[in-house]
Amino acid sequence: MAATAELAERYRAIMPSFISPLYEKPLSIDRGEGSYIFDNEGNRYLDFFGGILTTMIGHANPVVTEAVRAQAGKVMHTSTLYLNEEMISFAEEVAAVSGIPDARVLFTTSGSEANDTAILLATNYRKSNQVLAMRNSYHGRSLTAQAITSHRAWSTTSHSGLDVHFVQGGYRLRSPFAGLDDSDFTDACVADLVQLIDMVDAGGFSALIAEPIQGVGGFALPPDGFFGAMGKVLAAEGILFISDEVQTGWGRTGEHFWGYEAHGIVPDAITFAKGVGNGITLAGIVARAELMNCLTRNSITTFGGNPLSTAAGRATLRYVLENDLQANAAARGAQMRERLAPVCDASPHIAELRGKGLMQAFEICHPDSIEPDAAATAALLERTKDLGVLVGKGGLYGNVIRITPMLNVTEAEMETGLDILVAAIETMD
């Protein structure tokens, strides 16, 4: 097996400079098992990030592995030119859990492509290139997904040709309306939306796309009911609502199956990716039939709905539902919150603990301020790794620690991880 240092050098030499491994000394992963992952040196880590919320029901989950193995032994690829039972069955299953009436499903190969499709549909349906998105959003790396992203660290272009306007409300800590209570905050953001539409509407916006909890943005979230209130304004104008559930889907928030359900609104479309295949390349969009079927020309996705990936998706979704992992996300999320809340409250370095269920984050700032402290965040990330836990980083200023254990994490695993996280926070100087 190649030594980690040598692999790190080869990674830097052959991969583009705009991607980079986490940690000063990058980890090279050899294998995983449940909530644990092992590096090439044989070190074991508790994985509380899941390769960015993507390994969702444990590494090498035997149910998914077996489904992939069985499908790989039959046929790995067909394309959408042929009938493929795994794809059709999984589409039916996704439609059934989506909450969208008369839903249609298209599978894609990434969250970016799913969001591209959502914007393609919305702009065609509404015959408008005007799009609304939230401030502090991240929707992917394609040209369209970049256009609706408002996160400077990850914004590489604004050349899409879409006319995008960013709405207040996703990131409350640094919002001009931060001091308001939930209801006044929502009202202020809705008033801002109304004014934005009044001022810049050039014949009708196509859609508002939003993450119910902003992933890359550091698990920033508006009050419950927020998107329902925005939705009333959108509906009056005929503007569609697209919920990007790439990070919030499949029960992770504990209280609901989808993030949008906290808001009293049913989206016109949901996009999904990451955890749905427990690590196999799988993403997609589920939308009202009228919207999904609005294209009048042919379209095709070669890999979308691939039998190998949809077999993994079916096994993952079945496992989530049969084991009621949403309930586990609620219970383990409460356990995490209970341990972290007093520690974060007591720490002068932590401005805010936020999130829902198994999607919790805290924002690290200079003592008793909201001035971001990216250096302290990077140091905490290294320290948690040295102590044996992998967590993620995020936030507009790279100063947020994101914690997203597997949906089937056990109480004991959670306690072990929390002991380490608490120790790491308490030793910040």
Taking residue 259's Cβ as centre, other Cβ atoms within 10 Å add up to: 27
- Burial class of residue 201, CB neighbours in 10 A (0-12, 13-18, 19+): middle
CB-based closest residue to ligand PMP: 111
**How far is Cα 283 from Cα 313, in angstroms, rounded to an integer?**
9
Distance of closest approach, residue 357 Cβ to ligand PMP, in angstroms: 16
**Per-residue contact track with ligand PMP, 364 to 383, x per CB under 6 A?**
--------------------
Q: Are 245 and 272 in contact (CB under 8 A)?
A: yes
Contact flag: residue 260 with ligand PMP (CB under 6 A): no
CA distances from 203 to 60, 118, 191, 239, 275 (A): 51, 20, 20, 11, 38
Distance of closest approach, residue 257 Cβ to ligand PMP, in angstroms: 17
Beta bridge partners of 400: 363, 394
**Per-residue contact track with ligand PMP, 53 to 92, x per CB under 6 A?**
----------------------------------------
In this complex, which beta carbon is closest to ligand PMP, that of residue 115 or of residue 144?
115
In this complex, which beta carbon is closest to ligand PMP, that of residue 247 or of residue 326?
247
Helix axes 182-200, 226-237, angle to 10 degrees: 20
CA distances from 363 to 220, 374, 394 (A): 10, 10, 9
Contact flag: residue 273 with ligand PMP (CB under 6 A): yes
- Side chain identity at residue 288, one-letter code: R
Distance of closest approach, residue 167 Cβ to ligand PMP, in angstroms: 16
Contacting residue, 35, 98, 115, 128, with ligand PMP by CB under 6 A: 115
Please name which of 190, 294, 247, 255 lies closest in space to residue 402, comparing C-alpha atoms.
Answer: 247
Contact flag: residue 112 with ligand PMP (CB under 6 A): yes
Contacting residue, 162, 242, 246, 380, with ligand PMP by CB under 6 A: 246
Q: Which two structure tokens, joined as six digits, stand for 292?
A: 């999904």
Q: Which of residues 200-229 bind ligand PMP (CB under 6 A)?
A: 211, 215-216
Contact flag: residue 111 with ligand PMP (CB under 6 A): yes
Contact flag: residue 140 with ligand PMP (CB under 6 A): yes
Q: Which two structure tokens, joined as six digits, stand for 262?
A: 């906290």
- Binding segment for ligand PMP among 63-71, 134-142, 225-233, 345-353 (CB under 6 A)? 134-142
Q: Site for ligand PMP (CB under 6 A): how many residues?
A: 17
Distance of closest approach, residue 214 Cβ to ligand PMP, in angstroms: 7
Distance of closest approach, residue 154 Cβ to ligand PMP, in angstroms: 9
**How far is Cα 377 from Cα 11, in angstroms, rounded to an integer?**
24
CA distances from 394 to 212, 362, 363, 382 (A): 16, 10, 9, 14
Distance of closest approach, residue 157 Cβ to ligand PMP, in angstroms: 15
Q: Are 397 and 391 in contact (CB under 8 A)?
A: no
Strand spans (E) along 89-140 = 103-108, 130-134
Write out the residues near ligand PMP by the rule CB under 6 A: 52, 110-112, 115, 138-141, 211, 215-216, 244, 246-247, 273, 283
